Structure 1
């Protein structure tokens, strides 16, 4: 039996037993796919895009589970600052996972 020393990213080396006469082969790459998984509740936000001196206002509401609160925030911001242009958005937290394909590519 032949012992091979291989090194990883550290200074420590690992002794990997390898029978004499056999070559080391790397495993075939496994086909993978990326999945997107929704990890939370869709949230609604509003942002003021009214032009001011240096660009858009940029004021942003809190985020809520329901879009009903956005109109209240927009009206209050418009009354206080006399701004007229807003954008409503939804945000949805997601994670991307890499999974091996099961015979499909």
Structure 2
């Protein structure tokens, strides 16, 4: 099954769960799933620009990219709950073992 079909099924289920929604046409489901796809791609590209090189993407980068974008102010309340000082979001730099140098090997 394609990823698009999974998204379309999920959107259809979410729309049907809404009590104030009546029948939902296939065209409306397709339009909503396309809008979700565009939104997620846009958010991912903004997060990529905000990402710190070498650390990866964490909820902190999501928070920064949402707060930096005025068009996403409907998400500000949600992302403000992300604690930036939480240690699980900050991974220590990986360090390999020190290799002996030629000078150390001669000793």
Indicate the structure whose relative CO is greater, using CA pairs within 8 Å and at least 6 residues apart. Answer: 1
**Rg larger for:** 1
User: Higher strand fraction: Structure 1 or Structure 2?
Assistant: 1
User: Higher helix fraction: Structure 1 or Structure 2?
Assistant: 2
TM-score, normalized by length of structure 2?
Answer: 0.21
TM-score, normalized by length of structure 1?
Answer: 0.21
